[in-house]
Chains A and B, each alone.
Chain A
Amino acid sequence: MEEMDQSVISIFKTAQHQPELTRAMRDIISLAGVMKDLSTEAVFDSPLEMLRFLRIIELIHEESFGLTEQIDDAETLYYRYVARYEDIEPPTKERVNQIVTILVKNNWVSKQTHQIKMMSVGKRMMDALTRLANDSLAYYLEDEIGRSLFQARRDAEISEAYDDKGISGGNRIASMIRNVKDAIEKLRERELELLADRNAFPQLELIHTLMEDLAEKLDERLKQFETIEDSLVLSNLMQTGTGALNEGTSLSVGMINKYLQFMNVQQTPLQTAISPEKVRLFITKMFNPPPESEIPNAHQLFSFMDQGQYDGEQLDGIWMPVKYASPLSFAEIEKGIDFLENYEPAVADIEEVIQPEFYEENIEADSLEDLMDEASWLLTKASIDTEKIERYLEQKKEADIEETIIETGSASWSDAIRQLLGVAALEANKKVQVQPKQQVKEYDKEWEWIQDDDRKSSIRRRT
Chain B
Amino acid sequence: MTTENQAYEEEHDDLSLNSLQTLRSVLTTREEQAFMSILFSSSATIRANNFGLPRKEVEKLLGVSREDNYFHSFLSRVNQAVGRYYRLIYDEGRDQVVVMLRVPARSARHTLSSEALAVLLFMFYQQEVLKHEYTLLTQLLEAFGHEVMKGSRRIQLAIDTLRKIGALENQQLSDKEDAYRLTAIGVHMFSDSFLRRMVEFSHSNQLSKEDVMKFFNRYNLYEREGLL
Q: Could you list which residues of chain A lie within 8 angstroms of chain B, going by C-beta atoms? A: 192, 196, 261-262, 264-272, 274-276, 278-284, 286-288, 295-306, 310, 312-327
Segment 133-149 of B: residues with Cβ below 8 Å from A: 143-144, 147-148
* Residue in A274, A287, A317 whose beta carbon sits within 8 Å of that of B148 in the complex: A287
The 8 A-B pairs at the shortest CB distance, nearest first, are namely A282-B202, A326-B40, A317-B108, A298-B117, A313-B193, A322-B101, A316-B193, A297-B114
Q: A382–B50 Cα gap in the complex (Å)? A: 73
- With a cutoff of 8 Å between Cβ atoms, the chain A residues found around residue B46 in the complex are 323
Residues of A near B109 (CB, < 8 A) are 192, 299, 302-303
Please, which residue of chain B has its CB at the minimum distance from the CB of A288? B148
> Among residues 159 to 179 in chain B, which have CB atoms less than 8 Å away from a CB atom of chain A?
165-167
Contact A318 B201 (CB under 8 A): no
Q: Which residues of B contact A315 (CB under 8 A)?
A: 84, 102, 104-105
**Are B122's CB and A321's CB within 8 A?**
no
The answer to whether A301 and B197 touch across the interface, beta carbons within 8 angstroms, is: yes
Chain A residues with Cβ under 8 A from B188's Cβ?
319
Identify which of A275, A276, A325 contacts B40 (C-beta below 8 A).
Answer: A325
Cα of A284 to Cα of B211 in the assembled complex, Å = 22
Q: Find chain B residues with CB under 8 A from A305 CB.
A: 105, 193-194, 197
Given that A274-B215, A275-B203, A305-B105 are contacting pairs, would A323 and B194 also be in contact in the complex, using a CB cutoff of 8 Å?
Answer: no
Most buried by B among A298, A325, A327: A298
**Smallest distance from the beta carbon of A309 to chain B beta carbons, Å?**
9
| Shortest CB distance B193–A (Å) | 4
* 23 pairs of residues in contact across A and B, judged by CB atoms under 8 Å: A196-B106, A265-B201, A266-B206, A267-B206, A269-B206, A270-B207, A274-B215, A283-B122, A287-B115, A287-B122, A288-B147, A298-B121, A299-B114, A300-B114, A302-B106, A310-B196, A314-B105, A316-B194, A317-B103, A318-B111, A319-B103, A321-B99, A323-B99
Known: A265-B201, A265-B206. A283 touches B106 (CB 8 A): no
| Binary flags per residue of B203-221, CB closer than 8 Å to A gives 1, else 0 | 1111110011001000000
Q: Which residue of B lies closest to A264 (CB)?
A: B204
**Does B122 contact A318, Cβ atoms closer than 8 Å?**
no
A318 interface neighbour in B119, B166, B194, Cβ under 8 Å: B194
CA–CA, A192 to B110, complex, Å?
11
B191 contacts the other chain (Cβ, under 8 Å)? yes
A interface footprint on B38-53 (CB within 8 Å = 1, 0 otherwise): 0111111010000110
Task: Please give, as numbers and ranges, the residues of chain A lying within 8 Å of B200 by CB-CB distance.
Answer: 265
Q: With an 8 A cutoff between CB atoms, is B192 at the interface? A: yes
Q: Apart from A271-B203, A302-B105, A312-B193, list 11 A-B contacts with CB within 8 A.
A: A266-B206, A270-B208, A271-B206, A279-B198, A279-B199, A287-B119, A313-B193, A314-B106, A315-B84, A318-B103, A321-B101
Query: A284: which B residues are within 8 A, CB to CB?
Result: 122, 143-144
Q: Are B105 and A322 interface neighbours, CB within 8 A?
A: no
Q: Are B102 and A317 touching (Cβ within 8 A)?
A: yes
Assembled-state Cα–Cα distance A208/B106 (Å): 25
- CB-contacts of B75-128 with A (<8 A): 84, 86-87, 98-109, 111-112, 114-115, 117-119, 121-122, 125
Contacts of A299 in B (CB 8 A): 109, 114, 117
Contact of B70 with A by CB under 8 A: no
Check A310–B42 contact: CB distance below 8 A. no
Smallest CB separation, B139 vs chain A (Å) = 11
How distant is the Cα of A300 from the Cα of B118 in the complex, in angstroms?
A: 12
Cross-chain contact of B129 among A262, A265, A276 (Cβ < 8 A): A276
Q: Are B100 and A321 in contact (CB under 8 A)?
A: yes
Nearest CB of chain A from residue B78's CB, rounded to whole Å: 14
In the complex, which residues of chain A have a beta carbon less than 8 angstroms from the beta carbon of B23? Answer: none
Do A287 and B207 have beta carbons less than 8 Å apart? no
Question: B103–A282 contact, CB under 8 A?
Answer: no
Contact B201 A296 (CB under 8 A): yes
Residues of A within 8 A of B227 (CB): none
Given the interface pairs A274-B215, A321-B51, the reply to whether A301 lies near B198 with Cβ below 8 Å is yes
B57 to chain A, nearest CB (A): 13
**CB–CB B108/A278 < 8 A:** no
Q: Are A318 and B190 in contact (CB under 8 A)?
A: yes
Say how far A106's CB is from chain B's closest CB, in angstroms.
56
With both beta carbons as reference points, the residue of chain A lying nearest to B46 in the complex is identified as A323
- Give Cα A242 to B194, complex, Å: 37
Set of chain B residues within 8 Å of A306, measured between Cβ atoms: 105-106
Contact A324 B106 (CB under 8 A): no
Residue of B nearest to A272 (CB): B211
A279 to B118: give the CA distance in the assembly, Å.
12
Asked whether, in the complex, the Cβ of A297 is within 8 Å of the Cβ of B118, the reply is yes
Chain B nearest CB from A191 CB (Å) reads: 11
User: What residue in chain B is nearest A281 (Cβ atoms)?
Assistant: B202
Q: B185 on the interface (CB 8 Å rule)?
A: yes
Q: Are A319 and B101 closer than 8 Å at their CB atoms?
A: yes
Q: How far is the CB of A190 from chain B (nearest CB, A)?
A: 13
Contacts of A296 in B (CB 8 A): 201
- CB proximity of B68 to chain A, nearest CB, Å: 24
Chain A residue nearest to B190 (CB atoms) is A318
> In the complex, which residues of chain B have a beta carbon less than 8 angstroms from the beta carbon of A287?
115, 118-119, 122, 143-144, 148
Tell me whether B64 is interfacial, beta carbon within 8 Å. Answer: no
In the complex, B26 has a CB within 8 A of chain A: no
B201 touches A295 (CB 8 A): yes
Interface centre among B191, B192, B211 (most CB of A within 10 A): B191
B130: CB under 8 A from chain A? yes
Q: Determine the chain B residues whose CB is within 8 A of the CB of A295 once the complex forms.
A: 201
Contact (Cβ within 8 A) A321 B165: yes
CB distance from B127 to the nearest CB of A (A): 13
**In the complex, what distance in Å separates the CA atom of A271 from the CA atom of B101?**
32
Bound: A281/B118 CA distance, A: 12
Across the interface, do B211 and A317 meet the contact criterion of CB distance under 8 Å?
no
Q: Specify which of B121, B203, B215 is in contact with A286 (CB 8 Å cutoff).
A: B121
When chains A and B are docked, how far (Å) is the Cα of A312 from the Cα of B105?
10
Q: Which residues of B contact A272 (CB under 8 A)?
A: 207-208, 211
The answer to whether A321 and B98 touch (CB under 8 A), given A288-B144, A297-B118, A303-B105, is yes
Task: Kindly identify which residue among B119, B166, B192, B199 contacts A316, using a CB–CB cutoff of 8 Å.
Answer: B192
Q: Which of B86, B98, B103, B114 has the most CB of A within 10 A?
A: B114
Other-chain residue from B52, B121, B165 in contact with A320 (beta carbon distance below 8 A): B165
